[in-house]
Amino acid sequence: MQERKVNTNKLNINTLVDEAKFTPFHWGVLIWCLMIIIFDGYDLVIYGVVLPVLMQEWALSAVQAGLLASTALFGMMFGAMSFGTLSDKLGRKKTIMICIAIFSGFTFMGAFASTPTEFGVLRFLAGLGIGGVMPNVVALMTEYAPKRIRSTLVAIMFSGYAIGGMASALLGTWLVADYGWKIMFYIASIPLFTLPLIWKFLPESLMFLTKKGETEKTLAIVQKIAPQQEISAQTSFVLNEATAGNDAPLRALFQQGRTFSTLMFWVAFFMCLLMVYALGSWLPKLMIQAGYSLGASLMFLFALNIGGMIGAIGGGVLADRFHLKPVLSTMFIVGAIALILLGFNSPQAVLYSLIAVAGAATIGSQILLYTFVAQFYPTAVRSTGMGWASGIGRIGAIVGPVLTGALLTLELPHQMNFLVIAIPGVLAAIAIFLVNLKASVDGAQQAKKDLKHKALLENVTQ
């Protein structure tokens, strides 16, 4: 019996992306993802910009204003969970576009709200898109970034949140006094007009296309990433991970030894976002209580965000050299120490430095956490992993400002306030330290074995 020759001309997409040089194609993916994140950041911060005017116009109490702020956070929680899971079925690109249409459309409609209830409903709906786009853009950037600079590229892309937030604040300063608060929501409609461009220029995930057997689309992108790659008519595209058993992506987060690490990621996200939103909401108030002026206290908030950007990009560079796990654990511990030291009187230069370090350890670490989760899970469940971690984190974002407000009512000494806020940083550091990297490695190795076993079976049957 004559043996049939089996085609072994297989091109591993994961290896191709990992080892690729940074090309104009990569620049395109980075710029589009960065732009989407800037839009997302603008829409998230917009409420804080118009809050003083809304409180006056609708006669809102501080409690009512706080509840109104939480509506978008609740939307973000549900959006991150649902759209992260949907993306693993529908594809990154389509899900991103759906999310942009949701957050841009409903934010724009907020300009026409006549009551706080209407406004709150629209903010919740906008929050679905704001929270949903996040894990998908991170997943897409992660799946195209060469391995040696992956953490750096995701961190640069994610700094768009700070850019969008600062743009929202600056535009509010220039426009709201002359044109009213609604102008900010009219501007939020701009992303809707970019959807045709995003459809044309933003590529679908190469891993998703390969998994779905979209050979022609896969080939077109491969030629842009690695033009020197020799491809014949017999070339087939494969991934270095098995997709079998991942039909229920949520369940897959708890398979192949990933259960404990999944829970640790959730703890880290919860604690990190608790600190981010506690400081973002209450830092000026805490510093005013410590005897600083309102102007100085707002500058502290600016220093916090600048520190977040520096921490994200610097941490990304360090993570590419070492690994995200030790970098993140160290950043959380250093941040907790900085927060504790903020409770003591220090020279102004030292104070600004400590706040910048706290920003790097909270805002910066939040961005790097997404990168860590994206690199930990297999492609087939990546958006689901990030979506659920982000969703659990949003519970911390909701709890943080409420707990800090309750803390201030206790009238504790200034040092105690910052000590309490520092505790979640220590817990986040412990959670990251306990993440089992072997579970991620073992999952990949098991997938490779499954692929080899499948190839052998095909060989035998032929």
C-alpha span between 150 and 157 (Å, rounded): 11
C-alpha span between 406 and 66 (Å, rounded): 13
C-alpha span between 142 and 320 (Å, rounded): 13
C-alpha span between 49 and 259 (Å, rounded): 40
Where b means 16+ CB within 10 Å and e means fewer, 424-443 reads: bbbbbbbbbbebeeebbeeb
Whether 262 contacts 252, CB under 8 Å: no
Q: Identify the H or E element spanning 360.
A: none
Provide the percentage of residues in the chain whose pLDDT is more than 90.
21
C-alpha span between 21 and 2 (Å, rounded): 43
C-alpha span between 244 and 329 (Å, rounded): 33
* pTM of the predicted protein model: 0.74
Three-class DSSP category at 238: strand
pLDDT of residue 298: 57
Secondary structure letter of residue 145 according to DSSP: S
Q: For the chain, which domains are there?
A: 1-240 (1.20.1250.20), 242-462 (1.20.1250.20)
pLDDT of residue 94: 92
pLDDT tens, position by position, 233-291: 677 777 765 444 444 567 777 777 788 888 999 999 999 988 887 777 666 667 766 67
Beta-strand ranges (E) seen in 44-141 are none
Question: Token pair of 51, please?
Answer: 């809050």
| Phi–psi pair at 3, nearest 5 degrees | -80, 140
Report helix angle 150-158 to 116-144, nearest 10.
Answer: 160
Name residues of the chain where pLDDT drops below 70.
1-8, 62-63, 233, 240-249, 281-285, 288-290, 292-298, 301, 439-462
Whether 319 contacts 368, CB under 8 Å: yes
Strand partners, 238: 12
Question: Token pair of 257, please?
Answer: 């030894």
C-alpha span between 225 and 147 (Å, rounded): 13
How many of the other CB atoms lie within 10 Å of CB of 315? Answer: 25
